[in-house]
Amino acid sequence: MASWSPTISPDAVSENWSTVLLSLRDLRRDVPINYNQYPGIALTPACFADGSYTEDRAACVANLIAIGYRSFLLDLYLDGESGGWGICPVADTASSTPTTTPAAAATASLLPRQSAPAYTCTPSFNATSLLTIFDTWMTGTNTDLGARILLLTLSLHPAATTTTTNSSSSTTLTAPPQPLTSTLKSANILADAYTPTQLLSDRRNLNSSWHDDDTATTNTTYFTTLLAADDTVSTPDGWPSESYLEFKLRKRVLITFGNVSAAVSAVYDPAATADNAAIFPAGYIGAPAPYNASTPPQCFYNPSNISIAAGNSSWAQALTTTTTTNITALINCGYSTLLNPAVGAANTTASLDTRFRDYEAHIRATAAWAWADNQPQNTTGRKPSFRCAAMRVSDGRWFVADCNEWRRAACRVSGQPYDWTLTPTPLPYASLPPCISTPRTPLENTHLHTLLLHTSNLPSTDSIWLDLNSLSTDSCWVSGGANASCPYTDGDEGRREVIVSAVAAVIVLVVFGLMWFAKGASWRVERSRRRRRRAAKKRVREGVEYEGVPS
């Protein structure tokens, strides 16, 4: 059985890549999941472009997860004879030997694809095997540091037979379609799923769901809330936060239907198989908008209106076929991007490792939407105060700076996601006011960056402070001011430098005051002694007899 066994390290993408991913996850912990950034990729062109569905491709899937992809488009095929679901586009895989079919026009999940030279499928690498890779990843990362949310989109097609050259042709069923949930259960992935049934239940009473735990709350400014006469809070359109799913429910994956071909729709009813209780309907968790340079999708950034309704980027996804697309512009407009690379002769003959470099370029542009290249820098060898995050005015990217430097700071207005202001004067990090904050999503970052560009007395070469530092523990980036602690360790080695810098003058004054007090006390004692000596000598000179204590 396949498992999550990547052949590369996450930090192969760039230095401190794991730190980048963790820092941005922790920032968005209370943001509803439908506003977060989920880098996505279609698995068929990414790992099975040459038509080979064999065990060696498990490493490709594992590596995509390892470098930071969190949204995956999976193509599943309905076998007309067994009613089962598989990943091979042809149905004749019942034998124990690999099945190789003639070239078939592989129908794409979302876009037309060119023909693969042949399909090579092995029964030992099937839909359960593929889903088990995701399940073992979730099991292996089910910790405070490793937990992440995963989105799986299932596009359904009829499987071709060895005599059928087009997998989109109609299929005659001799057995009813099996529930997709049976396949999900066989891979143990259903136990990790947050389902439509759970979502509806949570929405009915936020008091006992998303607001029941102070450590795993959900920010309600992003959606509509209703207050009943009995003080029950509900929502018709809200989604939970990542922290609620990961740390309270221990749910790590949401599964949704993607494109369902007409041939499958004619014979498969999710309600009849009860799959609709576990799998979200098509379009409910986003419907990828194809990217066209001449007519790009709507940008959700609205500088004249900072309300959530005006910039409703809920589950917004943009579909792109190349890593050279202006990915940054799409992300800044509020989109997650789904890479669906075109399959051509050059791509199918290239090695997986060669194509993987392109996927790394895409993930750098998407998962690291906030940090500048090679940031946050490794602070090893630097002074402990080099642990505070600042935003560049020029491009809105973040970098690591010395906390003792003086800058203006970003403040969120009334807790609103898209409403920002700046402190009137520069300050060192330890002296920043409580209003300091940090963008949690790319669209929030766009609103703040635009404010900087339109602030007349802020040069383009300048930068501002953000509420993000690793003073408590190296490489553990937290918000909450200079005194915030890393939730994963008890370290505080970096904070001392900034605290000393901020209160050094006070300490000096206190020490000086104590010394002055001690010196003054000694002076008073000495003066008292001198007065007593002078009085005794005066009495002797005047003939005054000393009377001691009687014996």
Is 86 found in the same domain as 231? yes
Higher pLDDT, 278 or 493: 278
Over the stretch 106-128, which tens digit does the pLDDT of each residue have?
Answer: 333 443 333 344 789 988 899 99
Is 473 found in the same domain as 353? no
Q: Is the pLDDT of residue 394 over 50?
A: yes
Indicate whether 239 belongs to any domain: yes
How many domains would you assign to the chain?
2
Cβ distance 207 to 306 under 8 Å?
no
Residues contacting residue 372 through CB under 8 Å, at least 6 positions apart = 392, 395, 397, 398, 399
Res. 8 pLDDT band, cuts 50 70 90: confident
The pLDDT assigned to 324 comes to: 62
The pLDDT assigned to 322 comes to: 73
Lowest mean pLDDT among 57-71, 92-106, 285-299: 92-106
Is 49 found in the same domain as 134? yes
- The mean per-residue pLDDT over the stretch 361-382 comes to 86
Q: Is the pLDDT of residue 158 over 60?
A: yes
Q: Smallest Cα–Cα separation from 20: which of 378, 473, 448, 335? A: 378
Indicate whether 506 belongs to any domain: no
Give the number of other CB atoms < 10 A from CB of residue 535: 9
Res. 476 pLDDT band, cuts 50 70 90: very high
Is 332 found in the same domain as 184? yes
Res. 137 pLDDT band, cuts 50 70 90: very high
Range of 456's domain?
388-486
Share of the chain above pLDDT 70, in %: 76
The pLDDT assigned to 420 comes to: 96
Indicate whether 540 belongs to any domain: no
- The mean per-residue pLDDT over the stretch 202-222 comes to 87
Tell me how far apart the alpha carbons of residues 525 and 388 are, in angstroms, rounded to a whole number: 51
Indicate whether 97 belongs to any domain: no
Among 334, 368, 402, the domain boundary falls at 368
Q: Smallest Cα–Cα separation from 441: which of 464, 418, 421? A: 418
Helices (H) and strands (E) in the chain, counts: 13, 18
Res. 535 pLDDT band, cuts 50 70 90: low
Q: Is the pLDDT of residue 454 over 80?
A: yes
Res. 174 pLDDT band, cuts 50 70 90: low
Indicate whether 113 belongs to any domain: no
DSSP character at residue 280? B
Is 350 found in the same domain as 255? yes
Angle at which helices 58-67 and 127-140 pack, to 10 degrees? 30
Is 238 found in the same domain as 156? yes
Is 215 found in the same domain as 85? yes
The pLDDT assigned to 233 comes to: 94
Is 202 found in the same domain as 133? yes
Is 364 found in the same domain as 314? yes
Say how many residues make up the chain: 551
The residue with tokens 């409703």 is: 312
Tell me how far apart the alpha carbons of residues 361 and 513 are, in angstroms, rounded to a whole number: 60
Higher pLDDT, 39 or 313: 39
The pLDDT assigned to 196 comes to: 97
Indicate whether 184 belongs to any domain: yes
Among 464, 486, 508, the domain boundary falls at 486
Indicate whether 525 belongs to any domain: no
The pLDDT assigned to 211 comes to: 87
Indicate whether 423 belongs to any domain: yes
Is 400 found in the same domain as 323? no
Is 337 found in the same domain as 437? no
Q: Is the pLDDT of residue 550 over 80?
A: no
Is 430 found in the same domain as 351? no
Res. 244 pLDDT band, cuts 50 70 90: very high
Higher pLDDT, 521 or 163: 521
